[in-house]
Chain A
Amino acid sequence: MTGTLLSIQGLTKAYPGVVANDSVSFDIGTGEIHALLGENGAGKSTLVKMIYGLVKPDSGTMEMRGAPYAPPEPRSARLAGVAMVFQHFSLFDALDVSENIALGMENPPPLRDLAARIRTVSEEYGLPLDPYRTVGGLSAGERQRVEIIRCLLQDPKLLIMDEPTSVLTPQEVEILFETLNKLRQEGTSILYISHKLEEIRALCDTATILRLGKNVGTCDPREKSARQMAEMMVGSELQTPKGAGATPGEAVLDVSGLTLPAPTKFGTALKNVHLRLHTGEVLGIGGVAGNGQDELLAALSGEMRAARDAIRLKGQDIGHLGPTARRRRGLLAAPEERLGHAAAPDMSLTENALLTGAVREGLATNGFLRWGKARKFAERIIETFDVRTPGPDSVARSLSGGNLQKFVIGREVLQRPEVLVVNQPTWGVDASAAAAIRQALLDLAGDGTAVLVISQDLDELMEVADHFAALNEGRLTETRRTADLTIEEIGLMMGGAHDGMEVAHVEA
């Protein structure tokens, strides 16, 4: 490390009703990988947006190599040598890699020259990428490479990465880390945003921890344990969810030879999926995003119909039935996307309780709605799952992500399902809400419900699941006992073992 690249002094940004950043100060050294840690809502995004020129601070200053730095827009930030890889990619599916990269450039060179440069840079940093492939056909890991290479072409001094590993397999994470280490050796500073503590301990030189918009400490992550950092992040002692330890009983859900075509052009087809779920069991399904998770949930919830005998619930064929009929038989589901799929954003919580609760909670008689009963059901969800909201009349979109997720999961849990299928139950949810949701799922399994958890968060699956399987390009691997698996084996299962991504090695 040779001196300070970016110095942040007392940055403050307030939005109506919330102070997102409260006089945050820290320095990023040249050639340093600096971790920015914090729960959802701790103010990481706002801080990074200020550095990248997307948001203007209310007060406070930044200095870049001793000179005042206050980018009015991202273009100035890029000119100053700041590049950013966002968590959600901004790529056009229908264009190829080089066209996508050209679109983000001020003065793009001719496509052929650009393609050559993309090849050189991608090989230099160990991120193999064909400039002429269509982005729609790339995996999430490869899409991220496109974004990283887009940044590297600008020759940045500071590279900001927002939750880069959330979409990667363990092997892909390794490749990424090698690339980042190479960049560090060349003197590029990296601001690495994550809440995955083990990763930060493995990669970063320094960590700044944010809580409720305040800098609560800067530390060397190698000297602290993951637990210590987590407690700094949350500000209290963490509660690890515990299973009731029910022994799995008889099989309730039997999926055999489930094959479905892709619902959209860039969707994933399900190919000959087999799985068996027992009472009291939690089966975790891992896999990188876009490998058929949404489709599997849709096939199980009844949004996508399958062959009659592809799905059997307690010995009955239900593959051809729609969501309502499946709910009546005890198969409930909670999709990943909270707003717009699991819940209607502009409808009240009472109406959203009715959305899936009508059949099992008896909220309608002869088609006529019983609003009083629906409201009581919504109130029961809010109370049981500690959903923070003024009341059941609030619209769904006024709730924070964590609270709405607790509502969505709670709505299904309270209907006493025989089988519950959830997709990304704690995605974008703060640590305490995530713990509460996982605990609810474990309690449910303890009472004899069969629970299927689809998630891209491996730590989560390791924590809650008795058995594990992985989705890869619409195929599901064999189910294995979680306790018997190593992280490498999981990585191979997620990568599909047969045709994983090219694993390139950087010359040291």
Chain B
Amino acid sequence: MLKLEKRPQPSRVFAYLTPVLAVIATMFAGGLLFAALGKNPVEAIRTIFWDPLFGDFAAYYRPQLLVKGGPLILIAIGLSLGFRAGIWNIGAEGQYIVGALCGAAVALAFYPLEAWYIFPLMVLAGALGGLVWGMIPALLKVKFGTNEILVSLMLVYVAENLLAAMALGRMKNPEGRGFPGSRNLKEYPSAFNDEVFVGTGMHWGVLTAFLAVIFAYVLLSRHMLGFSIRLSGEAPRAARFSGVNPARIVLFCLGISGLMAGLAGMFEVSGPSGQISIDFNVGYGFTAIIVAFLGRLHPVGILLAGLLMALTYIGGEIAQGNLGLPSAAIQLFQGMLLFFLLAVDMLTNYRISLVKREAT
């Protein structure tokens, strides 16, 4: 009989090992899934994990890794701060949309003026938009004790409707011959979020994501505020005893995660996506939750997890194109990753021991 025993100390080895184990388990179960769909599992796994990096067209796919990974990392870093404190912002998708809308609004307001200050202003507006959207659940929680999970999630649907209204209304391209969607910011140099290094996929948002990783790392490991955040998550009563003001932590965590999601949305609309359209958002805000946990809520872990998740996105697209795998199978595959991670996670705090069945 197998028995779970709580470890006296969380295992360090397993804390690092579990993400790797989870990826391997996902490959296995995913392989079975693909085999059941009548595809060669080895080829499918290779297409997802190998081809984007080292395949024939890797030169095209590799920059995509940063383009897709950047927003995931940026959002996940913000979310992880809240998750560390036990504050569950599930509405990053909404904050991402509002950030994009605010950024685009600044650009469209200045169009066709060309000036150096337009892009910085857009960054500011995007951050502010996400911040405001994140502060709504924060203020409601602090003032009225509402549940931030529900409020932030419902605000996603509000944001989606706002997006549709803007894409079809105020922000619609007047020269777009009636098609929904805004002007393409890629064609507006002052607003275009161009690559910082040509051909790498590294646009300003990716750079910001890397800065966010460093910021979060320093905050959590070297600063009193980061310590207060971790303490609030580990032991809320001890945090209050220590002198942490719970309301301030709620405001900070939801604010900063909203701000980062807003920035990610703004960099996306001004760069890779280029325009506000009805289907502008593609679920980065939700996937970032998986990324945050896959990265163990640790900044460096999130950096790696974001790149891994980007890989499955790109690899998944190739698999869809080349092997004809349904997109639902790819989403299932990504879901499995979180599932296995949570399952294997238990090994950090528990060990499995074999015991003989006691005679009764």
Contacts and interface: CB of A to CB of B under 8 A. Distances in A.
Given A335-B241, A346-B10, A369 B227 contact: yes
A302 interface: yes
The 7 tightest CB contacts between A and B, nearest first, are A324-B243, A323-B243, A344-B235, A344-B234, A341-B237, A367-B224, A398-B8
A272 interface: no
B358 A301 contact: no
Interface string A284-312: 00000000000000000111000000000
Contacts of B227: 351, 354, 369
B277 to A, nearest CB: 43
Given A369-B223, A395-B9, A395-B10, A341 B234 contact: no
Interface in B219-250: 222-225, 227, 230-231, 234-235, 237-243, 245
A358 interface: yes
Contacts of B322: none
17 contacts: A56-B358, A301-B241, A322-B243, A322-B245, A333-B241, A340-B235, A341-B235, A343-B235, A344-B231, A344-B238, A345-B235, A347-B230, A358-B224, A367-B223, A368-B224, A397-B8, A398-B9
A113 interface: no
Nearest to A367: B224
B10 A355 contact: no
Interface in A316-350: 322-325, 327, 333, 335, 337, 340-347
Given A56-B358, A346-B10, 19 more contacts: A16-B5, A323-B241, A323-B243, A324-B243, A327-B243, A340-B235, A340-B237, A341-B237, A342-B238, A342-B241, A344-B238, A346-B234, A351-B231, A355-B241, A356-B242, A358-B224, A368-B223, A369-B224, A398-B8
A337 B224 contact: no
Contacts of A367: 223-225
Contacts of A398: 8-9
B223 A340 contact: no
B112 to A, nearest CB: 45
Contacts of A356: 241-242
Most buried by A among B10, B227, B238: B238
A150 B239 CA distance: 39
Contacts of B245: 322
Contacts of B234: 344-347
B242 A355 contact: yes
Interface of A: 16, 56, 72, 301-303, 322-325, 327, 333, 335, 337, 340-347, 351, 354-356, 358, 364, 367-369, 371, 394-395, 397-398
B240 A303 contact: yes
Most buried by A among B240, B241, B358: B241
Contacts of A369: 222-224, 227
Contacts of A342: 238, 241
A302 B241 CA distance: 8
A341 B238 CA distance: 4
A303 B10 contact: no
B142 to A, nearest CB: 16
Most buried by A among B10, B223, B224, B358: B224
B241 A303 contact: yes
Contacts of A322: 243, 245
A421 to B, nearest CB: 12
Contacts of A344: 231, 234-235, 238-239
Nearest to B238: A344
A397 B230 CA distance: 16
B358 A302 contact: no
Interface residues on chain B, size class: 20 to 34
A364 B242 CA distance: 14
Contacts of A397: 8
Contacts of A302: 243
A377 to B, nearest CB: 14
A36 to B, nearest CB: 25
A364 B230 CA distance: 16
Contact of A341 (B223, B241, B358): B241
A14 B266 CA distance: 61
A488 B230 CA distance: 48
A346 B11 CA distance: 12
Contact of A364 (B224, B231, B240): B224
Contacts of A303: 240-241
A463 to B, nearest CB: 27
B226 to A, nearest CB: 8
A340 B245 CA distance: 16
A152 B286 CA distance: 56
Contact of B238 (A343, A358, A368, A395): A343
A209 B247 CA distance: 51
A366 to B, nearest CB: 9
Given A337-B237, A342-B241, A347 B231 contact: yes
Interface in B309-360: 358, 360
B218 to A, nearest CB: 9
B231 A355 contact: yes
Nearest to A301: B241
Nearest to B225: A367
A391 to B, nearest CB: 12
A369 B219 CA distance: 10
Contacts of B8: 397-398
Nearest to A369: B222
Contacts of A346: 10, 234
Contacts of B224: 358, 364, 367-369
B10 to A, nearest CB: 7
A355 B238 contact: yes
Contacts of A340: 235, 237-238
B8 to A, nearest CB: 5
B214 to A, nearest CB: 15
Most buried by A among B8, B227, B231: B227
A327 B243 CA distance: 9
Contacts of A394: 9
A415 to B, nearest CB: 13
Contacts of B225: 367
A340 B227 CA distance: 15
A346 B240 CA distance: 16
A324 to B, nearest CB: 4
A343 B235 CA distance: 8
Nearest to A327: B243
A368 B225 CA distance: 9
Most buried by A among B230, B235, B245, B360: B235
A351 B235 CA distance: 12
